[in-house]
Amino acid sequence: MIRSELIQKIADENPHLYQRDVERIVNTVFEEVTDAMARGDRVELRGFGAFSVKQRDARTGRNPRTGETVEVEEKHVPFFKTGKLLRDRLNGKA
C-alpha cells in the first residue's frame, strides 16, 4: 500500500469529503508525526505503535573503502516500536 492508495481508501469511505481534503488530512497526520519527532517528542498510538527519537552517541568511524578514520558526531534518529495489538494481529493472535 502506498500513500495514494491509503488516500483512496479513506476517500471511498467518506464520499462527502473532497478528495483534496482527504489528501490534506492524510498528509497532515504524517507531517504531525515527523514534526513531533523533529522537536524530540514521542508519538504514542496505542494498538499501532510508538514513534520516538533515539540518540546515537558520537563515535570514531571508519570509511570502509579507504580505511580512513572519521569522527562521527552525536546524532538523533527516528525509531518505531510496534504496538502490542498490531504485533499480536501480525501473528494471528488477535
Partner 1 sequence: MGEKTLTRMDLSEAVFREVGLSRNESAQLVESMLQHMSDALVRGEQVKISSFGTFSVRDKSARVGRNPKTGEEVPIQPRRVLTFRPSHLMKDRVADGNRK
Comparison of 21 and 61: residue with beta carbon closer to partner 1: 21
The alpha carbons of the chain give a radius of gyration, in whole angstroms, of 19
Long-range contacts (CB closer than 8 Å, 24 or more residues apart) made by 34-39: 37/78
DSSP single-letter state for residue 74? P
Q: Which is nearer to partner 1, 13 or 68 (CB)?
A: 13
Nearer to partner 1, 66 or 91 (CB): 91
Are residues 53 and 36 in contact, defined by beta-carbon separation less than 8 angstroms? no
Q: Establish if 46 lies at the interface with partner 1 (CB under 8 A).
A: yes
Residue 61 makes contact with partner 1 by CB under 8 A: no
Find the helix or strand (DSSP H, E) in which 4 lies.
Answer: helix 3-13
Chain residues that interact with partner 1, rule: CB under 8 A: 1-3, 6, 9-10, 13-14, 17, 21, 24-26, 28-34, 36-49, 53, 55, 74-78, 80, 82, 86-87, 89-91
